[in-house]
Chain A
Amino acid sequence: GAVVSQHPSRVICKSGTSVKIECRSLDFQATTMFWYRQFPKQSLMLMATSNEGSKATYEQGVEKDKFLINHASLTLSTLTVTSAHPEDSSFYICSARGVGLAGGNNYEQYFGPGTRLTVT
């Protein structure tokens, strides 16, 4: 249980285009989802926290108009990188926390496998 998927796993896009990344909780309801960004040989940096049905809370320094987050249902959150540029190339990872988990562990974050974005 507690599986989180991401789609796509890899995407290459041209500079100036927008890319959407999906994060799904497959066997539980995700009341909160987190989006992280990981640069090579660096730690995961939290970008934003989203609660189902409300606006995402962005970390300091993250452009909310560039990284659009939608958490419209209890099993799906999307991250859209708008007008992507080469400096947006990175590894994006989502995690989910929610209800309906075995053992009642509703506070642990469950991570997706990540999406590698390359902007050319």
Chain B
Amino acid sequence: GNSVTQMEGPVTLSEEAFLTINCTYTATGYPSLFWYVQYPGEGLQLLLKATKADDKGSNKGFEATYRKETTSFHLEKGSVQVSDSAVYFCALSDPGFGNEKLTFGTGTRLTIIP
């Protein structure tokens, strides 16, 4: 079946540091890939997505590239801010219709210190 493995946290960085959160996946078909973010006390929000190989998703300074050859979708940001502190989830959708039936990674808690 489908699965998502992401970097275990927690991750603590200083403001303006470079961020990488690793995510690899296993899927039988050609999934769409997502990064969701959960800020304290709030629901999950879609941060970015990519629907096919070599696509790059980007939002709010975050980027991730769909790498089919390495089955990876690592999240990166060049200079993190305190407001980026949150839990980040990598996810994939079953091949086919929309993004129904998401499979999530375990989440990585990120804390940015001033």
Contact = CB atoms under 8 A, between A and B. Distances in A.
B52 interface: no
B89 A43 contact: yes
Given A43-B89, A43-B105, A43-B107, A108 B45 contact: no
B102 interface: yes
A106 B100 CA distance: 11
Interface string A73-98: 00000000000000000000101010
Contacts of A41: 106-107
Which size bracket describes the interface of A in this complex? 20 to 34
B102 A109 contact: yes
B102 A42 contact: no
Interface in B1-40: 4, 36
B106 A107 contact: no
Most chain B CB within a 10 A radius of its CB, from A93, A95, A106, A109:
A109
Nearest to B42: A113
Interface string A18-31: 00000000000000
A44 B43 contact: no
B32 to A, nearest CB: 10
A94 to B, nearest CB: 9
Given A44-B102, A46-B101, A111-B44, 13 more contacts: A41-B106, A43-B104, A44-B89, A44-B104, A46-B103, A93-B43, A107-B97, A108-B46, A110-B43, A112-B43, A113-B41, A113-B42, A114-B43
Interface of A: 4, 6, 32, 34, 41-46, 49, 93, 95, 97, 106-114
7 contacts: A32-B100, A41-B106, A43-B104, A43-B107, A46-B103, A111-B36, A112-B43
Going nearest first, the 3 A-B pairs with the smallest beta carbon separation are: A107-B98, A111-B43, A111-B44
Interface of B: 4, 36, 41-46, 89, 97-107
